[in-house]
Structure 1
Amino acid sequence: MEPIQPEVMVRQVEALSTDLRTRTDLFTNRVSTLLSPAEWESIDTVILTGNGDSHHAACAAEMAFETFAEVTCEPLSAWRFLRYSPPLGRRTGEGRTGEGRALVIATSASGGTKGVVQAIERAKADGALTVALTGTPGSAVTRAADRFLLVDLEHPERSPGIRTYQASVLGMLLIALQLAEARRADSSETVAASLRRELSGLADTMDATTKAIKERCARLAEVIAKAPVVTMVGSGPNHGTAQYGAAKLAEAAGVFAAGQDLEEWSHVERFAYPVDMPVFVIAPPGRSQQRAARLAEQASRLGRHVIAVVDGNEMDLIAHADAVLPVHGTVREEFSPLLYHLFAGYTASYTAQRLERLPFQADRSSS
């Protein structure tokens, strides 16, 4: 099999807006028939499970389930779900009559991840309703789960997951909106349709953002390539973005990178060397933006190389940044992972090229 070239990741980033334009309605139609009305209404708990990018996507989508659908939602890696999660069973939803049911959404872009298949089997044994979310029709997860949502893409190519990551996040967000419509009397079809239009409307904002950050990411790669370690920090849904961004640097360029929560970085990683360690601060408008600005100030005082992934008008944070990757347009926090992950593919690809490394390079002894 031919090795993957880093340039593939650049193409994938630039295909994301087209994917959003062309796949949102298709995936929405599939979600609408995923469960029966009674099944949608019975759900009061959601578990999102998967490994790698699929787990990071789950972390990015958690807030949407909790705010739109008002259900308890927990993102768990497949291993943790299998070995450490208590039995799910059936449970009664707070303030509701009858039995509530757990929905387990198990994500695997390839559809063949063994741990995810096992997680589905375990969830079914516990009496949960299971949905596989995958880009691969006829795969093992589709056969194991009660239902499946296909989030396939046109003209796929091998790469550290970029388009597949967005497809997974989009699929989960659309399930959250469908669940909200079914569970909440005040979530009319009109409200749900408006939120879905917001999602597909982000495609134009993606185009503006990729245009603004592409060359900046290329220049930034010189800084990243010289660093022995990189940290990415975010909170809420963008803690998932931070983990995803760190994964792309590791997979594509062999750079040790870690994704961390804003507050936890302030408690732990701020003490680590080197002093000039690059720190990406991912800070969309929302509940954690003020804390992100204070963290950027703190990191700058410590001598860190601060890279702000932020609305270009957020001057409180930008004032403490060495580099800015501006995100264009406005977006509600629940949908912000769709815009705030765009830098990751560019940065990882350009860093790999500068280091003359290949994605998923097994033998790094000569690099």
Structure 2
Amino acid sequence: MNPDLFLADLEAKPAALADLAAALDAEDPFAGLPEGIDRVLFLGMGSSRFAAGVAALRMRAAGVNAWAEYASAAATFPPDPRTLVVPISATGGSRETLDAVERYAGGASLLMALTNTPGSPITEAANLVVPMHAREERGGVACRSYQHTLALLLALESRLTGAGRNVPALVRRAAEATTDLLERRDDWLPRVLELLDGPHGVYMIAPTERLSSAEQSALMIRECPRRPSDACETGDWAHVDVYLTKTLSYRALLFPGSRYDEQAMDWVRERGSTIVTVGGEVKDAAAAVRYAHDDDPDVRLLTETLVAELVAATWWSAQ
């Protein structure tokens, strides 16, 4: 792991997204899927599971029987010819995911591997392999691969639901949003660093529909500068993390969009906690980071973790 290469990986996001959009324009990566899929089961760990959790929620909301499981779970759905099993691993070598694949390899279920590493072990038993097109992450941190996983799962959602969403256009809008944040970082990043730099870590709050943004952001703070960080769903925050505001110098990134944003902010005001919002304005937040196309929730989903990633890269480099 290398902080300078991690920053370079972040700066290469727009170009990698352009590659992904072009690949999606050129070919449907899911063209090999059969008709009559009854269930989709995502298997992964870490960032892969974060992305899959949001994708499964979206699919269920659209009427698709989808579930995201820890690959390390001892048991989950049994093999079935109408179940599409999607193991996700950027490296293609996650031990837990490979172990989970063994339960389905050569069986009744269709295996579709999603990976950033062609020819990796996860592809060996797969009936279909979908490349992430995220390029090599030389910094050793899953950042572009997480973003590309989300984009590809949105494309899978569109195919399975028949929504006909123009995902390549969405990916290009996310590239523009990412470019905007990168090019203007000197305007917003110093203030965000100052506000979040406290003695008790950084917390992340996001609505259920974009919970992966909070989970991935917290992981970046833990993995790179190795500072305390955790994620919470916005509505659940009033039942779970609100207690921290009473005893800690509580500092958080809030990804707005939940009907319960104001409920959380009531406690923040009462206890003098520090909130920075990403992609929207919330009354009494200490600062707001805005960017191009942040009025589109799907662009937010694909873009907003960059704020925490750049915070993590800066703190990491300063160590």
Q: Same fold (TM over 0.5)?
A: yes
Runs of 4+ in 1 over 6 A off after TM superposition: none
Q: Match for residue 65 of structure 2?
A: 72
Matched, 1:353 2:305: no
Matched, 1:245 2:239: no
- Of 3, 6, 10, 1:9 maps to 6
How many Å apart are 1:57 and its aligned residue? Answer: 1.7
8 Å Cα contact 1:246/1:257 also seen in 2: yes
Task: List per-residue Cα deviations over 1:333-354 (Å, max 9, x = no partner).
Answer: 3453112212121011112234
- Of 47, 55, 70, 2:41 maps to 47
How many Å apart are 1:173 and its aligned residue? Answer: 1.6
Q: Match for residue 308 of structure 1?
A: 277
TM-score (norm 1): 0.78
Gap regions ≥5 residues in structure 2: none
Matched, 1:62 2:56: yes
Specify the code of the residue in structure 2 equivalent to 1:278.
R
| 1:235–1:303 distance in 2 versus 1, CA, 3 Å | same
Cα distance in 1 between the residues matched to 2:150 and 2:187? 26
8 Å Cα contact 2:106/2:125 also seen in 1: no
Gap regions ≥5 residues in structure 1: 91-100, 182-186, 357-367
Specify the code of the residue in structure 1 equivalent to 2:10.
V
Alignment of structure 1 residues 236-315 onto 2, 5 Å: 236-272=208-244, 274-284=247-257, 288=258, 290-311=259-280, 314=281
SS in 1 for 2:103: helix
How many Å apart are 1:213 and its aligned residue? Answer: 4.5
8 Å Cα contact 1:229/1:257 also seen in 2: yes
Specify the code of the residue in structure 1 equivalent to 2:290.
P
How many residue pairs align between the two structures? 318
Cα distance in 2 between the residues matched to 1:213 and 1:293? 28
8 Å Cα contact 2:18/2:171 also seen in 1: no
Specify the code of the residue in structure 2 equivalent to 1:205.
A
Cα distance in 1 between the residues matched to 2:236 and 2:174? 30
Alignment of structure 1 residues 322-333 onto 2, 5 Å: 322-330=286-294, 332-333=296-297
Q: Match for residue 359 of structure 1?
A: none
SS in 2 for 1:46: strand
- Of 279, 295, 308, 1:344 maps to 308
8 Å Cα contact 1:9/1:346 also seen in 2: no
How many Å apart are 1:223 and its aligned residue? Answer: 4.2
Cα distance in 2 between the residues matched to 1:201 and 1:220? 24
Specify the code of the residue in structure 2 equivalent to 1:347.
V
How many Å apart are 1:23 and its aligned residue? Answer: 1.6
Sequence identity percentage: 20
TM-score (norm 2): 0.89
Q: Match for residue 184 of structure 1?
A: none
Q: Match for residue 78 of structure 2?
A: 87
8 Å Cα contact 1:64/1:334 also seen in 2: no
Q: Match for residue 141 of structure 1?
A: 122
8 Å Cα contact 2:154/2:167 also seen in 1: no
SS in 2 for 1:87: coil
Task: List per-residue Cα deviations over 1:164-220 (Å, max 9, x = no partner).
Answer: 211221222222222233xxxxx4xxx44x343233233222222333445433443
Q: Match for residue 17 of structure 2?
A: 20
Task: List per-residue Cα deviations over 1:77-102 (Å, max 9, x = no partner).
Answer: 2112xx14242535xxxxxxxxxx22
| 1:122–1:196 distance in 2 versus 1, CA, 3 Å | same
Cα distance in 1 between the residues matched to 2:170 and 2:42? 23
Specify the code of the residue in structure 1 equivalent to 2:11.
E
Cα distance in 1 between the residues matched to 2:291 and 2:263? 19
Higher helix share: 1
SS in 2 for 1:254: coil
